[in-house]
């Protein structure tokens, strides 16, 4: 049977990139990631063997994945993996896709968490476990606890810990601090929901595929942040630290909430885009 040139890896990638370019800035990369999934090969193989032919089953699978991506479904959910802090994390629609901006939260938390001491760290709203796992990996002497009110998210977080072989982290089902009552932590971190409930951003692009309760933070976007600030001082050791990720326009409101609860050393850090993103503070009993 004569093989058709339009059935090669290269031709399928060209066609898919053209289709995906309508709605995705990373159309070619997306097409290559999807093709790599189908062939179970790295992208370097695709570049080296564009003449490789796809059999009917491979072609059908690739076309199905391209349709999913064209519909707006994030690559991370299609592939089931997203890299964060140089760790391949399992993700699905029950957890937010970890974003590069949140690595700033990890970076600043590590500065405030001693390397060689057995301190305790709490990650509120852990989702896939991204922040908790990154801190636990970088601070192997620390005891890290991640909490979330979603059993499905916790299943993913525990799977990530198991696959990555990070054993100084545990995950608990909890509404914020409920499961750790009476406990104290040196460092408390959180990337809570902080988008305004009716913000059109929630239903735009890829975000419409992500769990809305992990994004929406009430009518002013500060509902979850405020709930954390109101209770956190009961769970932080003397002169311990809390670090919160928030929206770019929320820095002043977060600062006021912290001051009202007698936190001090309040400092806001900007992300790579120059936007206010993470605020840290301390608490004195």
* Pairing between β-strand 169-173 and β-strand 143-148 as defined by DSSP bridges: parallel
Distance between CA atoms of residues 62 and 43, nearest Å: 15
Token digits for 221?
């976007």
Say which DSSP state 8 is in. B
Average pLDDT, the chain: 93
Distance between CA atoms of residues 109 and 133, nearest Å: 12
Bigger pLDDT: 216 vs 71: 71
Say which DSSP state 168 is in. S
Model confidence pLDDT, tens digit, residues 248-260: 999 999 999 999 9
5: helix, strand or coil = helix
Residue with tokens 């198991």: 162
237: helix, strand or coil = strand
Q: What strands lie across the sheet with 263-270, from one edge to the other?
A: 169-173, 143-148, 120-124, 185-190, 236-245, 276-283, 263-270
Model confidence pLDDT, tens digit, residues 83-138: 999 999 999 999 999 999 999 999 999 999 999 999 999 999 999 999 999 999 99
61: helix, strand or coil = helix
- Taken as a whole, the chain contains a residue count of 285
Distance between CA atoms of residues 142 and 132, nearest Å: 11
Q: Which helix (H) or strand (E) holds 35?
A: helix 27-39
Residue 3 has pLDDT above 60, yes or no: no
Token digits for 62?
């690739």
Predicted confidence band at 4 (pLDDT cuts at 50, 70, 90)? low
Q: Which of 52, 56, 17 is nearest to 34 (CA)?
A: 17
Region at 40 (left for phi over 0; alpha for psi -120 to 50; beta for the rest) = left
Query: What does 188-228 look like in DSSP terms, one character per residue?
Result: EEE----B-TT-GGGGSGGGGGS-GGGTB--TTS-HHHHHH
Q: Which of 166, 173, 223 is nearest to 193 (CA)?
A: 223
Predicted TM-score of the model (pTM): 0.91
The pLDDT score that the predictor gives to residue 200 is 72
SS (H, E, C) 72-126: CCCHHHHHCEEEECCEEEECCCCCCCCCHHHHHHHHHHHHCCCCCCCCEEEEECC
Distance between CA atoms of residues 188 and 27, nearest Å: 38
Residue 24 has pLDDT above 80, yes or no: no
Q: Domains in the chain, start-ordered, CATH in brackets?
A: 5-71 (1.10.8.10), 93-283 (3.40.50.150)
């Amino acid at each position: 049977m004569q093989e058709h040139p339009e059935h090669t890896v290269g031709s399928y990638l060209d066609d898919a990139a053209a289709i995906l370019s309508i709605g995705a800035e990373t159309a070619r990369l997306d097409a290559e990631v999807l093709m790599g999934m189908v062939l179970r090969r790295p992208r370097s193989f695709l570049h080296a063997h564009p003449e490789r032919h796809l059999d009917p089953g491979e072609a059908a699978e690739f076309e199905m994945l391209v349709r999913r991506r064209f519909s707006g479904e994030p690559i991370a959910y299609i592939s089931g993996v997203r890299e964060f802090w140089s760790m391949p994390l399992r993700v699905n629609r029950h957890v937010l896709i970890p974003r590069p901006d949140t690595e700033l939260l990890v970076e600043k938390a590590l500065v405030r968490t001693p390397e060689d001491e057995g301190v305790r760290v709490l990650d509120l709203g852990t989702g896939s476990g991204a922040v908790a796992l990154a801190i636990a990996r970088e601070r192997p002497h620390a005891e890290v606890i991640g909490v979330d009110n979603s059993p499905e998210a916790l299943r993913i977080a525990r799977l990530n810990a198991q696959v990555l072989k990070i054993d100084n982290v545990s995950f608990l089902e909890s509404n914020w601090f409920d499961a750790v009552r009476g406990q104290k932590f040196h460092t408390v971190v959180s990337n809570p929901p902080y988008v305004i409930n009716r913000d059109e951003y929630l239903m735009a692009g890829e975000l419409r595929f992500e769990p809305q309760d992990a994004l929406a933070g009430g009518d002013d976007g500060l509902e979850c942040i405020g709930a954390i600030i109101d209770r956190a001082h009961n769970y932080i050791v003397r002169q311990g630290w809390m670090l919160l990720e928030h929206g770019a326009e929320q820095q002043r409101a977060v600062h006021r909430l912290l001051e009202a609860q007698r936190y001090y050393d309040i400092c806001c850090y900007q992300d790579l885009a120059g936007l206010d993103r993470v605020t840290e503070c301390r608490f004195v009993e």
